[in-house]
Structure 1
Amino acid sequence: MTYRVLILGGRGRIGSAVANDILSHTQANITITGRSPGTNLAVDERVRFLQLDLTEVEKLKDAIAQFDLVIHCAGPFHHRDTQVLEICINQGVNYLDVSDHRSYTQKALNLHEKAVNAGVNAIINTGIFPGISNSLVRQGIEQFDIPEKIHLSYLVSGSGGAGVTVMRTTFLGLQYTFAAWINGKWCLIQPYSDRETINFPHPYQRSGVYWFDMPETFTLPAYFPTVKTVITKFGSVPDFYNHLTWITAHIFPKWLMQRNETIEFLSHISHRMTDFTNKFTGIGVAVRAEVTGQKDGKTVVYVSTLLHENTAVAAGIGTGSIAKLLLESKLKHPGVSPVEAALTTELFTQIIRERKIEINSHWVET
């Protein structure tokens, strides 16, 4: 059987990476969408293009009905509604997305029971972070008798190989305070605050990261209830981008940062800057997942790290690999779930090995 996959926003850097991963590892036929004519994917007989705006609801419904799997890559997700997900549930079509914001995640999780009743597998927050990062955490959690603390650190070189949409996501994430689970209670956090120097693997070494609002800040404590603290921090290479982002988050007036034209201006300027610095820094990503807890009566720390030379490709792997599992019926988890709830460590290890990605893990005694 030849499966049919619809990728909404498939012409973007992340959407293209997802499509390429699926083409490389499955025999599925793919249709990618965009609001304007044409496609920037390499010509492939298994790829088709559909001009589609998500506001064209009836056309969207007709399109989704023809596919076995829908992958939503049309970000940023800060202001997205759950219309695509609801149509998939109503039509019994499995769903993935690369969403990366709590507002969308919360709205999607509210549809869990509806998806369960429809027998639809809807897995959200796939990609690299969130996505592969969440699976690193689950792998670490399973090493403990009682896991107590999660500390996630993400580092991206330059643009990460992504487009302007990812820049928009970054600046949108600086607009408001957010709640984080710290010492068993919800605390308000200022975005891009509390710089911390983290030891990443070569070539990154010691690099600065800052608090950043990510959906795993609240999905991880929900699915791992003994955990009392979840920290999510993000940083850029070269380091001066961190200082510019800090200034944007803490010095610029909030009313200015909440204007769409400001976000657009900063996003395009930043993308032009990274186009230049990419030549020196590369476009890679480093993820460090640190879990602290009780094992054999001792407090210990389990650290896992993962590197990839292209952040966008890594995101494509995270989503594309789960797509393959769904298409082959190796992953069945009806409902709306983040990656850490749906993907077992056994399956995660399998797909990481298939993609020849290396994970380094070690124990640290406190």
Structure 2
Amino acid sequence: MARILSMQLSSGISSRITSSIAKEKSETKIELPEKVKNSRVLILGGTGRVGGSTAVALSKFCPDLRIVVGGRNRDKGAAMVAKLGNNSYFSEVDINDSKSLDLALKDVDLVVHTAGPFQQAEKCTVLEAAIQNKTAYLDVCDDTNYSWNIKSYMKKAVDANIPAITTGGIYPGVSNVMAAELVRAAKSESKSDPQRLRFYYYTAGSGGAGPTILSTSFLLLGEEVVAYNKGEKIKLKPYSGMLQIDFGLGIGKKDVFLLNLPEVRSTHEILGVPSVSARFGTAPFFWNWGMIAMSFLPSEFLRDRSKVQQLVQLFDPVVRAVDGIAGEKVSMRVRLLSQFLLSCISSCVIVLHIDPNRLIWSRQMDAIE
């Protein structure tokens, strides 16, 4: 008979932690070192949902920073600047034009690239311009090919003496940190060998990301899913392999489906986990049905950014309307199975919920003999 043992975390707190952080507490200001206090940060895609949220958060956390809202729409840029206040301004920029980027990056200390989608993007023009102008770089890329193309610039970034970070969003990004923490805990706390790690993601409606998540999701349907099974690379059909996953408090059980995401490869190659996969699901449930139906469209169509953008324009008003009913919650569950003492399997899970009003996270670690 299986025996379930409750384990303690290294911090000495219980094996399950739930922390709710009030919205007003999240607005606490951060004191930056004097030498970077007045740094200038360019946010590309700053008039969109992701970039705009980034700009607002930075202005609240670090009000001394000078926020440059980068985008193509002057009216939207002016509206965002009015929201941010006097320590910001708009810069019209085309991320596909090197001269436009060079002009926008002048006297900028950090560029944050949120102008997705990153799928099917052939060139890393923003990073190239950042290296040329010796500007620190961060993106929220969620595409496997693009992220590994970015990594191929490592030597150039080192030679230019600038930090360059890719996949720094929620997932991938925070999810990678969650995975690394689970692997660290397995090796150091339970002295076990990681065997299988699974990423599970859920969003209600657009998850607050606006049309970008629609573009990303549709483009990902045109890519074969890369996963790893006992060290072997395997390819699977997108939005297949449905599992019902319990996302816990406030979310419950949701259906999730396979997608090709960059954290799978990095977890396998860098963290050394033999079996890795990632799944995503949304709500209401009929959006999942729509994604399944769209996965049968020709891959050539789904890889065409212009055609996908037409689909996004068609569906976006409907998604926004449904968001008002379904909400904009995001939840991530990362689970690691590891083996120790030859016969005991350890299951460790981190769950993170994000909604407009609070952040809830938990970690639990059990052993099944």
Quickly name the TM-score band, shorter chain normalised: 0.7 to 0.9
The aligned residue for residue 361 of structure 1 is 363
Structure 1 stretches lacking a partner, 5+ long: 314-355
Q: Which is further off, 206-215 or 263-272?
A: 263-272
Q: Percentage identity across aligned positions?
A: 27
The aligned residue for residue 339 of structure 1 is none
2:46 aligned with 1:10 = yes
3-state DSSP class of the match of 2:173? helix
How far the C-alpha of 1:169 sits from its partner, in A, is 0.9
Deviations along 1:85-127, whole A, 9 cap, x unmatched?
Answer: 1222233221100111011111101111222232221111111
CA–CA separation in structure 2 for the residues paired with 1:103 and 1:302: 29
Structure 2 stretches lacking a partner, 5+ long: 1-36, 188-192
CA–CA separation in structure 2 for the residues paired with 1:191 and 1:63: 38
Divergent runs of 4+, >6 A: none
CA–CA separation in structure 1 for the residues paired with 2:160 and 2:301: 43
Matches within 5 A, 1:39-118: 39=77, 40-41=79-80, 42-80=83-121, 81-118=123-160
Letter in 2 for 1:103: N
Q: Which is further off, 52-61 or 188-197?
A: 52-61
The aligned residue for residue 21 of structure 1 is 57
Matches within 5 A, 1:255-270: 255-260=300-305, 262-270=307-315
Q: Which is further off, 111-120 or 43-52?
A: 111-120
Q: Which structure shows the bigger proportion of residues in helix conformation?
A: 1
CA–CA separation in structure 1 for the residues paired with 2:311 and 2:101: 32
Q: Which has the larger radius of gyration?
A: 2
TM-score by length of 1: 0.83
How far the C-alpha of 1:283 sits from its partner, in A, is 0.5
2:273 aligned with 1:231 = no
Report the RMSD for the aligned CA atoms in angstroms.
Answer: 1.8
Matches within 5 A, 1:1-366: 1-26=37-62, 27-38=64-75, 39=77, 40-41=79-80, 42-80=83-121, 81-145=123-187, 146-225=193-272, 227-250=273-296, 252-260=297-305, 262-295=307-340, 298-310=344-356, 357-366=359-368
CA–CA separation in structure 1 for the residues paired with 2:322 and 2:93: 34
Q: Which is further off, 44-53 or 88-97?
A: 88-97
Query: Using a 3 Å threshold, how does the CA distance of structure 1 residues 264 and 59 change in structure 2: closer, same or farther?
Result: closer
- Mapped contact 1:157–1:282 kept (Cα < 8 A): yes
Q: Which is further off, 184-193 or 107-116?
A: 107-116
Task: Give the total of aligned pairs.
Answer: 320
How far the C-alpha of 1:255 sits from its partner, in A, is 4.3
3-state DSSP class of the match of 2:99? helix
CA–CA separation in structure 2 for the residues paired with 1:69 and 1:164: 25
- Mapped contact 1:144–1:295 kept (Cα < 8 A): no
The structure, 1 or 2, with the larger RCO (C-alpha pairs under 8 Å, 6+ apart) is 1
CA–CA separation in structure 2 for the residues paired with 1:136 and 1:255: 34
Letter in 2 for 1:365: A
How far the C-alpha of 1:280 sits from its partner, in A, is 2.0
